[in-house]
Structure 1
Amino acid sequence: MSNEVLSPAEMGEADRLAIAAGPLDGYGLMQRAGEAVAAVVLARYPAASRVHVLCGPGNNGGDGYVVARLLAEAGVNVAVWAEGKQKAGSDAARASEACNLPVNHLNDFDTTEGEVVVDALYGAGLSKYLSPYADAASGISAAEKVPVVSIDLPSGVSGETGQMRGYFDAAVTVTFVRKKPGHLLMPGRRVCGEIIVADIGIPDAIVDQLKIEAFENTPELWLRWYFPRTAVDAHKYKRGHVAVFSGGPSSTGAARLSALAAARIGAGAVTVLSPGNSMQVNAGHLTSIMLRKADTIADIDEFVSERQPSAYVLGPGFGFGDKARDFTLRLLAQEPVYDMQRRIDLGGIVLDADGITAFRDDPAALFEAAGRVGAPPLIITPHEGEFGRLFPDIVGDKKSSKLTKARAAAKLANAVVIYKGTDTVIAAPDGRAAINANGAPWLATAGSGDVLAGIVAGLLAQGMASYQAACAAVWIHAEAGRRFGPGLIAEDLPLALVPVLRELIESQPDLR
């Protein structure tokens, strides 16, 4: 699957397996990598007055020497810069010897408009500050209109975490085989520029041996096998019933946003469960969405017995006292709704906003309830602050990536975790995880998360499993916001889902 994401360690293992399998050895792979980068430079910058190739001490630098040699052979004015020699006997040393161009010391590096820089200092495995090359990076950043082509990752960006320790700001990053977490996780993602994944001769069969469980969140991950298909004989309850809990009279809008999103994404029926003192407020704003009073657990039990909803949203505008905890634990004590026709469990509980904060003093109670055998699936949707309230020990680990933290939280919570942000990570308790990369700044608006919670619940109600529903919801939500663009407010999002949803449905392959 081309949207797999390889950690630096997994990429190293892929290299090892490929070399062992042949026909390419390590030097052969280096040659292929250099060829890919040189081709990009020639195609993108044919008018460059000079190409500076900055070579580091390891294999990334070796790739750079190959690039320099190939560009020089193509007639390009090339300058090579390094601080020292490669390790004797290494593939990088072979590449530097074959380059046969004069090597200038990095301390003297300078550039000017009209030139291009190839950043071959450090690759995805960097785990320290960029020094002594930070001055070179700063010089390029200060120069006007000097594009940088980075090999593997912009030097200074960790391939594991996306954190930056002094960095190059690339116009293009050429990586190999698959993307790395650092290409997708912030803040590294914003300095990668356009990312090109080049084939250097490592076949998919090698990657398959690694049993990768991290992915870039794209429709390839969930559209073909998991996305809902509406049958010609469908009626509204066949398309799932979502219940959304409303807050008090002054905070009802968030629940209505979730409810409308659940309906727009395809749930056949949606009910807002409202406190008695909010019924009139909600009734004045709802048309196709049903309304039901729910002040107590007995009210919930009665509603569930009568209507058997398959998915719930609890938290948006709800308030985070005892009521939120009690309602959540009661829902988790139920058995999932079973679809006899499709032979699957439907639905689950989406816990958002105040529903998450309600457990800040006793998160173990939530995690234990979610881990009960037979409990309905739980999906938690925390932003950074809410994540810290539920998982203080995990968020405090400064060395771990957002991907690692999301996976640890999902395992601890016995829940799918949507760790929100510009680089939202979706993680399942079994270790699967996806990094979302199609987000847009327009989504940073009040109520956007309420819409996301409703989309997740709407997909759950239609039969998507919790992890796939979370992945699909995050991507669709982000895509709708990206296409709408500047001026987006949360009220726009449910309707903005329609063209995205239509394209997905029309592109679904026929599985007959």
Structure 2
Amino acid sequence: MELLTAAQMRAIEQAAIKSGDVTGLELMERAGQGVVDAIFEEWPVLDRRGASPSRSPGYLGPDEEDPLRAVVLCGPGNNGGDGFVVARLLQKQGWAVEVFLCGDPEKLPPDARVNYERWGAKNEVRVSAVDSAPLADDFLRVPKGIDLVVDGVFGTGLTRPFAGAFSMLANAPVRDLLRDRGVKVVSIDAPSGLCADSGRILGQAIVADMTVTFHSKKLGHVLGDGPVTCGAVRTKSIGLETLEDGQIVHTTEADEVKLSKGSVGHKYSHGHALILSGGAGKTGAARLAARGALRVGAGLVTLGVPPSAQMEVASQITALMLQRVDGADGLSETLEDTRLNALCLGPALGFERARALVPMALAARRATVLDADALSAFAEDPGALIAQLHDECVLTPHGGEFARLFPDIAAQMNEQLANGPAFSKVDATRAAAKRAGCVVLFKGPDTVIAAPNGRCVVNSAVYERAAPWLATAGSGDVLAGFIAGLLARGLAPMQAAETAAWLHVECARQFGPGLIAEDLPEQVPEVFRKLNI
């Protein structure tokens, strides 16, 4: 699935209009119809044939004498034009509709102006200046008995903090009031206040029950605060074709070819991964990673441990192998075995051991996962690590590790902006991958994976793929192991990172509540079976 920026979506729309296949007015009409269709699909009780749930919850039949009521908030751009279409279509269905405009009608874009005039020819439009203060005491003078609020204020066109009279809908007391009254809030394209490119909130944002977007989801729907503000996201086609654009971001999906094994071969046909461990009492993270690497199909997995941890690890493992690795010289000797084709360093490795072993591992020029301590150990001089990286590496930082390794990029992503679009997690991960010259997997519920060539995917564990149980100690170690195991099997770094991230979430969803890190590798067989692998 494609994830677009606001600019990419505008380019797709403009290309269709310039080709003569469709007019802007036709696109606006299709968008408005898509919103109305989505409302009735999501809440059938709001179909004109149903009763008003907020005022007659026990009513089982048509409610002709007491029509459903909607308030439609229209902004100064084309998102507002969509809102006027929604208002007209709801009224045609028998709804009582009140429309508010934020901005000067004379300054509306041409297509939005046409729909403003169509509505205004027979109905009132209450106009509020863009910068007018919120009227907290009278809720925009809207009657209490409303069923639906449609947010068509800014959508994907937001470039400055959300303010003005309509911004009162972003306040928690007003949201609570709407919720208590059973009022549904629907945003067109994106909740006003949400940056559609980054998922960051500019000023404050409306929290919707549902967001209806068009053609394809936008980055802001799955990044940052997007999932918190959008509610359910429904995508409606408006008859557009996607442009060829090498910078379009995609979401990760299962690929059976990448995960299945052939019917012939032996253990070395599927690679040999080496996972380096920390010292005594700190081997659990590496053992989690090693178990993950073995479960995803690496033919062999060896734990490289210091002398102090040999007995501890030996008493904990069976299918995993054990190799003494004492410092850089020990690793150099171990790597003389050329069948070791994938390395993983970082989980509870310890800073001192990481600084000793990482340079030797990178000098071997083999597929390498660097996680946790392997990244943070170089926080004082991240350039020293970056200079040693090669294109067979995968870096897997969480937010803190990312900031230590790429402090200037992280600062740009976290900068408080007066205007949008904001520098996004996608922008940050792409910049980091380009600087590092290798794949970067920036962890989180909105995990972003980027390659130096600009390819980027988002593995978003939100909405129907939410996996909050992954917020548990050791889950990231298992992810590092999944990547190492897939690298051992011969997947390219970007493929290995994408596939592992997707599998990581699926394993968590397979187990469900109560998950701990040890459970993740044990879900792999069932996930594979569901994929017919």
TM-score, L = length of structure 1: 0.90
Distance 1:483 1:229 in 2: 19
What do the CA deviations read for 1:439-477 (whole angstroms, capped 9, x no partner)? 422111111110010001111111111111111111111
Q: What does residue range 80-119 of structure 1 map to in structure 2 within 5 Å?
A: 80-86=99-105, 87=107, 90-99=110-119, 100-105=122-127, 108-110=140-142, 112=144, 115-119=147-151
Asked whether the 8 Å contact 1:416–1:428 carries over to 2, the reply is: yes
Please tell me the root mean square deviation across aligned C-alpha atoms, in Å: 1.8
SS in 2 for 1:263: helix
Match of 1:157 among 185, 194, 212: 194
Partner of 1:213: 248
Asked whether the 8 Å contact 1:351–1:381 carries over to 2, the reply is: yes
Match status 1:391 vs 2:406 = yes
Deviation at 1:366, TM superposition (A): 1.9
SS in 2 for 1:5: strand
Deviation at 1:500, TM superposition (A): 1.8
Distance 1:429 1:169 in 2: 36
Q: What does residue range 282-301 of structure 1 map to in structure 2 within 5 Å?
A: 282-301=313-332
Match of 2:488 among 461, 464, 468: 461
Partner of 2:152: 120
CA gap 1:88/1:316 in 2 versus in 1, 3 angstroms: closer
Match of 1:77 among 62, 73, 96: 96
Distance 1:134 1:413 in 2: 41
CA gap 1:314/1:91 in 2 versus in 1, 3 angstroms: same
Unaligned runs of 5+ in 1: 337-347, 507-512
Deviation at 1:306, TM superposition (A): 2.8
Partner of 2:76: 57
Partner of 1:302: 333
Match status 1:431 vs 2:461 = no
What do the CA deviations read for 1:469-503 (whole angstroms, capped 9, x no partner)? 11111111112113322211111111122222322
Deviation at 1:12, TM superposition (A): 1.1
Distance 2:108 2:428 in 1: 39
Distance 1:505 1:436 in 2: 22
Distance 2:273 2:350 in 1: 20
Q: What does residue range 285-434 of structure 1 map to in structure 2 within 5 Å?
A: 285-306=316-337, 308-321=339-352, 323-336=353-366, 348-371=367-390, 377-397=392-412, 398=415, 399-434=422-457
Structure 2 letter corresponding to 1:40: A
Deviation at 1:230, TM superposition (A): 0.8
Identity %: 42
Q: What does residue range 124-273 of structure 1 map to in structure 2 within 5 Å?
A: 124-132=156-164, 133-138=166-171, 139-143=174-178, 144=180, 145-164=182-201, 165-203=203-241, 207-219=242-254, 223=255, 227-273=258-304
What do the CA deviations read for 1:412-436 (whole angstroms, capped 9, x no partner)? 1112111111211111111111122
Distance 2:149 2:393 in 1: 48
Distance 2:143 2:303 in 1: 62
Deviation at 1:122, TM superposition (A): 0.8
Distance 2:146 2:467 in 1: 31
What do the CA deviations read for 1:383-441 (whole angstroms, capped 9, x no partner)? 11111111111111124211111111111111211111121111111111112212422
Structure 2 letter corresponding to 1:211: G
CA gap 1:459/1:197 in 2 versus in 1, 3 angstroms: same
Partner of 1:342: none
Distance 1:152 1:53 in 2: 14
Structure 2 letter corresponding to 1:419: F
Distance 1:392 1:494 in 2: 33
Asked whether the 8 Å contact 1:111–1:140 carries over to 2, the reply is: no
Structure 2 letter corresponding to 1:15: E
Q: Which moved more, 1:496-505 or 1:325-334?
A: 496-505
TM-score, L = length of structure 2: 0.87
CA gap 1:385/1:84 in 2 versus in 1, 3 angstroms: closer
CA gap 1:28/1:141 in 2 versus in 1, 3 angstroms: farther
Distance 1:271 1:231 in 2: 23
Partner of 1:345: none
Asked whether the 8 Å contact 1:26–1:91 carries over to 2, the reply is: yes
Structure 2 letter corresponding to 1:441: P
Q: Which moved more, 1:129-138 or 1:352-361?
A: 129-138
CA gap 1:112/1:245 in 2 versus in 1, 3 angstroms: farther
Structure 1 letter corresponding to 2:426: L
Partner of 2:59: none
SS in 2 for 1:365: helix
Deviation at 1:298, TM superposition (A): 2.9
Deviation at 1:35, TM superposition (A): 0.9
What do the CA deviations read for 1:342-365 (whole angstroms, capped 9, x no partner)? xxxxxx111111111111122222
Q: Which moved more, 1:45-54 or 1:280-289?
A: 45-54
Match of 1:30 among 25, 28, 31: 28
SS in 2 for 1:355: helix
